Each structure stands twice: as C-alpha cells, then as structure tokens.
Structure 1
C-alpha cells in the first residue's frame, strides 16, 4: 500500500469526522477499526496488495457521509471519497471501485464480489464480538441525539436481536471468526427479552 496516500487519507478523514460531537459510534475510530479489520480479512482471504489498498481506502471513507447527513450517507461518502481521490490524481478506475465499495456498506445491499463481502463483514464486525453491547449502547446514544428521540431499552433489545438474526457474515473469515460470538450475543438478548 502507498503509505503516503493512506496517511493523507487518514488525516483528511480524521479532520472531517473529528468535529462530529453527536456521533458516539460513527467516529474516526470506527472508520479506522473497519479499515484495519478489512485489511486483516482481506489478507486472510488472499487478496493481492492492490486490492487491499482499495479496500483499506474505501473503509476509511465509508462513513464520512455522516458529516453531511445521517440517513443514506453512503452515496455522499462515495462522492466525498471520489472528490478527494481525484484531487490527488488517484487512478479513475480505482476510484470507481472504491465508490462501489463504500455504497455497498448500505445495510440493505447484498455484496456482489469478495471485496464488497469483506468491507461489509468488517463494518458489521462488532456483531460477532464481545464488545457488541458496548458498541450498541454508543450507537443507541448517537441515534437518540441525532434523531432527537428516546429509545427505550426493551425496544433497543428487540432492534438489536432482529439485526443479529437477520445479519450474515459473507466471508469464510467472518463466518469462522465471528459467528460463534454472534450466536452467544443472540442468546444473551433472547434471555434479556424473555426474563
């Protein structure tokens, strides 16, 4: 990977996302976490170096659209990435792939290829980790502030359970490394709801 380009993108994304005071979940740290997990999964899935770079860049940019608007932010994030990458003369064909990767992080979109599977798995990685509930509380707090609503704990538990049950990891790495804990998280929520 071109470390000079990556370093510039990290600085740019950090500057954009740094002032998002209402965002307790969708912050620069989340973008960096997704980028690192994408790189890790990409290596385990056998991606060549050039594709790892595209994946890493897309992951860094995948939530910058939140700077402009909360809902449907992926298209905006893809445009922000495109404009930045054009400004540093990044190759057009690679920019197009990065845009598609960012858009593929939309929750409802099914991935079309391995790169999209990896970025989606990385973005939703916490569903299969022990910090799922901690991250969930941050997201809940963020939604309450942004949407100016109060989310009751039982409602949040039902939402979280539905998300976990409807979600699938797409890569072999995601399935093998995260499905067990995801199943445990489902059981914890089911017990919480039923007791």
Structure 2
C-alpha cells in the first residue's frame, strides 16, 4: 500500500467512525482513534522504528483498533479484526501482514498482552493519556461512557476502579516509561488522596 493509499484508507475510516459511532461513546470515539494513531507514530519514532512496512502496519492497526465499536461494545477487538479482514479481502495486504495487524489490535484488549515491540507500541499509544496533562478531562469522558453503558452505576464507583486499573497497568516501551510513567504516578497519587479525603468525610472525621 502506498502512502496515498493509506491516506485514502484513513479518510474512509474517519468517515465511517464519524457517521457510525454511538454518540454515547464519549471516550471510544473518533478523537480517541486519531490520538492513538498520532501517539503510535510518535512512540515508534522514539523506539527507533524506521521500517516503512512496519510503520504502515502499525498505522493501519491504530486506525482499526476500535472500529469494532461500530457494531458492539464488549468484544469490540474481535469485531475490529473481522472488519479489517473484510476490508482487505481484496488481497491488498498479505496474510502475514494482516495477522500482524490483528495481533496489534488484540494486544490492546484489557489486560494488555503485547508479544512484540509493535504490539507494545500500540498498547502504550492506546493508554498514553494516563500519563498526560489532559488525563482529567479524558478520564471524565470515560466515566460518562461507563455510566451510559451501565458498566458503573454511580460516579462514586469511578475513582476506586481507576486506582485499581492504574496499579495493574504498566507501560511497555522505554519511551513511555520515561515520558508517561511519572505523570501517571502523579495522577494515581491525586486519585488516592481524593479517595482518602472522601473516606474521611464519610466517616465524619
């Protein structure tokens, strides 16, 4: 696939997501997919990935990693892989390339399970925001989505879920460990302090 071919694909995916995603997806929306694509390319550069074929497959994986949300919430990664295979049934990409892309998509499933550097890069890109300054508003968007879909029932459930997730999560690439881990630890401490304060207030201390 040429660079112009990728650009055409990117525009096609953007249009499909714009038109087809449920408006209740306040986190898993078009902006998230664009962000993951941007961060994946950045992290790949920092990790020394300069092979054009690898970069192309990574960018395609980033575009497709959440496209399954067009059809389903739970199990969206598998659906993303199915849509990928349908879209490339014309033979534009070989079997090995498609398997590589599917591996990257499935690696983002929580708990993340990357098996190689490209999979590590997309996993870190997918959760890049955990260590960024814009974590608070993005976190609120995810909480709103979880409330809309009944994954949590009340806002009070959210911070304990976030704390547990933070404590299990790890960044895989050296660049994300350097650039995002410190910010993530700061956000975790803020969440813990907030929880402790809320607990003290409930106990009347």
Q: TM-score, normalised by structure 1?
A: 0.93
Following the alignment from structure 2 to structure 1, what is the Cα–Cα distance between the partners of residues 4 and 90? 14
Are 2:110 and 1:107 equivalent residues in the alignment?
A: yes
Q: CA deviation at 1:190?
A: 0.7
Instruction: Check 1:149–1:181 CA distance in 2 against 1; reply closer, same or farther (3 A cut).
Output: closer
Q: CA deviation at 1:149?
A: 5.6
Q: Is the 8 A contact 2:132 2:184 kept in 1?
A: yes
Are 2:11 and 1:8 equivalent residues in the alignment?
A: no
Q: TM-score, normalised by structure 2?
A: 0.89
Question: 2:58 aligned to 55, 60, 69, which one?
Answer: 55
1:20-60 Cα distance to aligned partner (Å, 9 max, x none): 21111111111111011111111111112211111111001
Unpaired runs of 5+ in structure 1? none
Following the alignment from structure 2 to structure 1, what is the Cα–Cα distance between the partners of residues 130 and 145? 17
Are 2:141 and 1:135 equivalent residues in the alignment?
A: no
Are 2:86 and 1:83 equivalent residues in the alignment?
A: yes
Query: Which structure would you say has the larger Rg?
Result: 2
Instruction: Check 1:3–1:186 CA distance in 2 against 1; reply closer, same or farther (3 A cut).
Output: same
Following the alignment from structure 1 to structure 2, what is the Cα–Cα distance between the partners of residues 88 and 23? 32
Q: Is the 8 A contact 1:78 1:100 kept in 2?
A: no
Question: 2:75 aligned to 72, 75, 87, which one?
Answer: 72
1:87-138 Cα distance to aligned partner (Å, 9 max, x none): 3622222111111111111012421110110000000101111111211110
Question: 1:95 aligned to 90, 93, 98, which one?
Answer: 98
Q: Is the 8 A contact 2:104 2:119 kept in 1?
A: yes
Following the alignment from structure 1 to structure 2, what is the Cα–Cα distance between the partners of residues 12 and 147? 31
Following the alignment from structure 2 to structure 1, what is the Cα–Cα distance between the partners of residues 116 and 151? 37
After the TM superposition, which parts of structure 1 deviate over 4 Å for at least 4 consecutive aligned residues?
A: none
Q: Is the 8 A contact 1:86 1:92 kept in 2?
A: no
More moved, 17-26 vs 87-96: 87-96
